[in-house]
Amino acid sequence: MIGLGVLWVVTEVIHVKHGADERGDLMVTSVLQRIDLPSVLFFLGILVAVAGLQVAGHLTYLATGLDAVFGDIYLINGAIGVLSAIVDNVPLVAATMGMYPMTQFPQDHVFWELLALCAGTGGSLLIIGSAAGVAAMGILNIDFIWYFKRITLPAAIGYVGGILTFWALWH
């Protein structure tokens, strides 16, 4: 909020010599009216929900389970990527960030880079797994079955190929 206040003061000082008609679209109050508030609230809700799951210990429990079942970061991220074909990748990545502390995987660790690859491309396995896919369904009248029959297999081949390429680069 301090940043917004500073921005407001600076823009007022810069545009003080202009009349209200000339600076109308440049004023902070005008810009704030054009903010997509539902999207902001959506992401805020995701972060609050993930924080609640983290505080309750559910994410740690889930991370322990993934480590026990898969045991390898490539398999863990591969599973998370497949899950992102069903669940939106934003809450999935936010939850994964809460599952694994920075002490386990530091900031630039391979795990996070692979997570970005898997969660981002895994959403393309099904048309409902990405915002772009859902938009394409509406705009181009593509139905789920058509996408599943024609696109899912090539997307899966590309998905696995991306993970294998990533693995080859790091081994």
Domain ranges of the chain: 31-170
Q: How far apart are CA 1 and CA 7, in angstroms?
A: 10
Burial of 47 (0-12, 13-18, 19+ CB in 10 A): middle
Predicted pLDDT at 20 = 66
Q: What is the pLDDT of residues 140-165, one digit of tens each?
A: 999 999 999 999 999 999 999 999 99
Q: Cβ(89)–Cβ(46) under 8 Å?
A: no
Residue 19 has pLDDT above 80, yes or no: no
Decide: 63 and 99 in contact? Cβ < 8 Å: yes
Model confidence over 51-105: pLDDT tens digits? 898 899 998 899 999 999 998 999 999 999 999 999 888 888 889 988 988 888 9
**Measured in Å, how far apart are the chain's first and last C-alpha atoms?**
45
